[in-house]
Every structure is written in structure tokens, then in C-alpha cells.
Structure 1
Amino acid sequence: MKTLSGKTVVLAVTGSIAAVETVKLAHALRRRGATVQAVMTEAAAGIIHPDALAYATGRPVMTRITGLVEHVLYCGEGGAADLLLIAPSTANTIGKIACGIDDTPVTTFATTALGRGMPLVLAPAMHESMYRHPAVAGNLRRLQSWGIDIVGPKVEEGKAKIADNEVIVLHAERAVSGRPLAGRRVLITSGPCAEPIDDVRVMTTRATGRMGRALALEAFRLGADVTVVHSDTFPCVRNIRVVTAGEMREAVLSVCRDEGVDIYASAAAVSDFAPERREGKIPSGSPLAVRLNPLPKIIDEVMAACRPVTVAFKLGWHEEERARAMLEAGARMVVVNAPPVMGATEGSFRLMTADGVTDVTGSKEEVASAIWSGLL
């Protein structure tokens, strides 16, 4: 999905060894539709040749400020850029930006961007001991107080490694989205639940969590504070790990009760039944009857407990009457799909609201975008 279509991103590269990752980052931004213009410090150009980024961006790379005042053309008032993305950013560059020092092309771009008030995203990368330095930590807090979005590094092997490209791109998308969901607390249930039959076997569904992931990442792009209750891990959001429907119910109601929820999207294939569990492993080879006991409907309890804006999902086109009943009960939107969509990367969905019905066919990213557009 071309989430950055029509946007110009200045990719500013400084002298961290993580600069070698910027060719892939530039490609990732362009796949999302962005026009990418690279600017490099002299130290960065000693790590990765400017020609590599010229190839990755399809544009000449800026390695110095000339009489064309490139920093003003891109990041000044009325400039061509929509976002300044500094990735990777060294401790040196972070300190210079925090103190308003301009002695490299990147710091000059940063000062100009801050003065204009345009979106700025910064991804630190350095040794862990440098990242832990009180001055560096203080400088990062100062930059955050100025509205700069700091993409936290991965701290491992004694290094504060630059964040994954997927995470950096998500922050870039969020920075230029206008953040219509800023300040909203979004709670999403996602993926399958697994109910134990014995100590070995479980009863589950074919759900993969792709729809929940698409909804969560789109909500993040739009500026929301996102919590996902599921058995997986998604980037850029708070993940609460659960396995069974009972654990999911407990976690969801805890978030509703203790933190509050503005929007609830019930995208998980929550178990409708739980088998009566047998201790140990049931011996194989003989016929077996398993008693299934019905489970409470989490969505009904959430709607009654905290009355959030609710997006419900119903599986099966024949469920439209029940979907309308859910709208009458207070759901803002009911998303209806058919079993073949479960686990697939794309499909056909019917978005039902009190105002009417919208049919959407496409990738789950595109469907998630349509769902959030229908709520805004």
C-alpha cells in the first residue's frame, strides 16, 4: 500500500556503521510511494559511498550545502520535503541538534526543519555505553520535548543498534499522517485462541492475525496509542500475550477497567467453545467424545463495561442479520467476511454501519485503511 505516496522524505545519514542499512531503508520508503532525497555527513560518506544511496533513491546525494541553499529548498518555509528522517543518528549529531550547532549538512537540515516546525524522525545508533551516557539520554529527552519522534534502538550485544527498517518506516508514515487518532486509546484483539484438550492437544482456528496486525499498524500510523491482545508480537504497539479465550477475556477487561479504551476492534477469532480438559495425554487409537462448553462473548462484556467505539467482525455472509443486531446493540461498525478470507493475505469484506454498507476487496492493509477511514 502506497502510504507515503506524494510525500518527499529527506533521508539524512550520519557516521554510524548502521549507515550501511540505509540502502535498504531508502528502498523500503520508495516502495511505500515516497520520493527520497539523501543528505550525508562527511563521516557517513566514509562508511557508505554516496553512489550507493544515489542508486537507492534515484537522485543525486547531497554531501554539502551549496549556494543553492538545499536545506532551505527542502526544509525551509514552503520547502519541498514533508519529513526529515535522520537514520542513523550518532550521539555526536544528537548533541549538536540539541545545542543548535550546524557544522554538517545533516545538522543544518535539522535546524531548518525544527525552525519550520515540520515532522522530524530520528533513529539513534551507537554503542550501548554511549547511548547510556547521561548527556546523550538528556539530549534525546530534549529533542522529544521539541516534538522530534525518537525511534528507539535495539539494545543487544553491547550496542544500541538502529531499529528495524519496518519500524522506522512506520514512524515515518505516522509522522506525515496528520495523526487523526492522536490521544486515542485503541484496543485490538487479534489472531486465534487455542483451547487445551489435554496436555498435548489444542482446539483452535485457521486465523493468522493478519487482519489484527493490519488494523494495529494502521492505527499506529494514524497516531493512536495501540494495545493488542494476542499470541503474537507486532512492532510499534503494546503487545499483551495470551493463548486461551479466558486469558484474552481477562486481559481485555483489565485494560478496559484499569486504563480505559476509546476504540475497540474485535478482530480475533475468539474461541466460542472450550473443551473439557483431560489431564495428561489422551491415548490415541480409540474413538473419543469431547464435550464443548460455550464461552462468554468478550465483545458484549467490553461494550457493556466501557462503551468504546466498537468494531465487530462476523464470519460468514449469512451473518448479516446478526451484524445488524450488533449495530443496534451499539457497535459502530461490523465487518463481515467469508471463511476463505481467514488466513489469506487479501479478500472481500463488507463494512456495515448505521449509515449503510461498503464492500471492500483488496489486501488486509487496504481493508484496515478502509475500516479506520470509515470511523474517522
Structure 2
Amino acid sequence: MSDDIVIRVEGLSKLYMLGQTLQPYGTLRHAIQNVATAPLRWIKAARKVQAGPDSAEFWALKDVSFTVNRGDVVGILGRNGAGKSTLLKILSRITEPTTGRVGVKGRVASLLEVGTGFHPELTGRENIYLNGAILGMTRAEIRRKFDEIVDFAGIEKFLDTPVKRYSSGMYVRLAFAVAAHLEPEILIVDEVLAVGDSEFQKKCIGKMKEVTANGRTVLFVSHNLPAVAALCRKGILLKEGRLVLTDTAENTIARYKKEGMSAEDTGIAVAMNARSGTGTHRLEYVTPTAEEFAARTPLVFRAGIRQFRDDAKFHYSLHFRNEADDEIFAINSEYLDGGGIAPGNREVEVVIDSPWLPPGDYRVEAFLHSAGIIDHWPDACRFHVGSDVATLGYSLASAKNAGKVLASFRLTSQARAET
């Protein structure tokens, strides 16, 4: 690799087998016993998979090649299932490619599925030092950055609490603070920032701008196009696992919009396989009860959740975005009493009485999460709010310019007594 090139990808492909099942997990003690008593048999068993009756090949990436130079800030775009998260996992050495080569020069910090690189039984303090050690930093180097990390994450009161007891928001804040402050040469960030509140997202974007100003390289996956436009200078567009375009961020975003790629769908099996998260549970569908809602009626959404592995209780959140891809509001079961959703195959219904939305088209982003992200579906469903807003006291024109949400209010007036 030349001095300027820090990432080189050549003919990269990744194959998954849909309908394939792995051998069940055993205990560490049994694994050690098996290696000691029959090492060859253990190696064969570790590699063995079982093909289900409906198994099929799915190429998450196919013959992808590109280079990234030192100091580049690259936005990676593509619809759900395009291969974005798979690409980042390969670059982060979390998973291996099926074919092709990847060369990475420099220390890499990744914020992909929340909790990657964190040990749930360790405290926040211990995980900071663990992640620093993984990046090859000395204890003295980590100590110099420690206060900045804690201040940015805002978790000082919970620093000596095991991270398994953190809320998803706390987990994200600490994970990003660690990744961004431990001075990696390359910072890789997936869509997980969407779990945080809007103020924290702005804080993260500001920190990434600071990182890039110091000449470091950033790869950023997001469906938030204004954030990509504000942060990135270059863009990579993926479609069905193949490279469509490498260009300026502006041209890449324009091509993405032109092809309507965020609205495409390749079927539940492929989409569920490609989505980020631990995958213990997956959302099979998120469906509005009507394609068009009247402005003053409740918004109702039903979801189906399938369990793939045993897990504890978890939470469900929906983030609502308008035509400009601005987040309008979000709902999160974590804010309700009841301790979350019980594991297993579930049906969930959400009824939202307020706020009322102006006329227009909206996209819903869905999450299952506990200590980290279980499933992230950036484009779970779409719906329309109709133009009949007269009953709210708004005209159609005034409703579209009254803000991101509409208020139901009362106003009275009376003559003032003269004094």
C-alpha cells in the first residue's frame, strides 16, 4: 500500500447460507476437554454446519473493490441489506471475507453493534481500559484520555457499575466516547448512533468532525443523509452487495436518492440476515394499521418479533423521520413501567395519541435493544398523513409550515375591564 492509502479492498465477497444452522454452543470446560482429547474431531465439529431444507446462498458482498486515503471521511450508503454492515465488520476484523483481500494500515476503532468489544460483567471503568489495551495503548496513554471519555459519555455516577446494567443510551454514549477518544487512525461508525437522543447525536457528529480535522480517517454508515452531507467528503454506494459508485458525498447522495434505494426490499429472509444487532430476536414486520392517517387520529403500528436464541427481556423503540429525513420524535418502551418485553415470539402494538403530524410522508426506523442493539431496521415501514387538517384549525398551507408537529390548543379572549 502507498503511504496515502490506509484501506485497500480488492475483489471482496462474503457468502452467507440462509437456512443454515450452527452446532449448538457448549461450555468453555467442554471445549477445552474436547480439544485436549480429540483435537482433529473438535476442529471438524467447529467448522460443521447443517443446511436446512430451504437453505440458499446469499452474497452479502460481491466483488467489491475501492481504496480510502489517509484523512478521508467516507459515507457508505445503500438500502437495508445492501452489505454496508457486513463491509464494516470485515474491515474491523470481526468477520472474515469469503473471497478477496483487505488491507488496513493503522489502529482501527469501531462502533458497530453496540457492545462490540465490551465485556458485560466488567464496569465502565474496566471496559475503557480493556478497549484501550485492545487498540494497543499503554495504561498511561489511556489514563491521559480517561477524564475526557467519562465527561463526554456523561456516566460518571455509573463508572464502577457493570455495563450489563446500563441502559441502551448509556451503552451507546460510553461506546462512542471510547471509540472516538482513544486516538485511532481509522474510526468506523455504523448506524448505532440512532439509539441516542438528538443532542447526543449532534455531539457525536461534532466529535467526528474534530477527529477528521486531525487528519484521521472516518467511515460512516447512516441513513441520515443531512448528517452524511455535513460530515463526509467522499461517498460509497452499495446495492445488493455490489459497488455502484465511489464519488463525492454530494454525488453519491444524489445517486442514492435518484434510485430510491432506501425504499427497496429484497424479502424478509435476506433483510433479517443482513440487519445489524445481536440477532437473538428479529423484527419480521412493522406495519401501520392504515396507509394514510388523518392528522388528528392516533398512529397505530403492529410488529411481529421472532426469537432465534434465548435472551432476557428487551425493549422496542420507533423513530419517526419526515421527508427531509429529520427525526421528528421517538417512542421507547424503556420509558414505560413493566420491565420490557418478555423473550419469545411476540406481537406488539403501539398506539401513539400525540403529537399530531403535518401532512406528508414519513419513515419509521425500528430497534430492539437491551444492553446493546438486538435488531436495527432503518426502513421498517412508511406511511402518509393526509391533508385534511381543517378540524385542527389549520389550512393545508399553514399546517405544512407550522413546525415538525402540530399542537392541539385552545384560545379564549374577552374584553378587558377599563381602569
TM-score range normalised by the length of the shorter chain: under 0.3
Greater RCO (CA < 8 Å, at least 6 residues apart): 2
What TM-score results when the alignment is normalised by the length of structure 2? 0.24
**Structure number with higher helix proportion:** 1
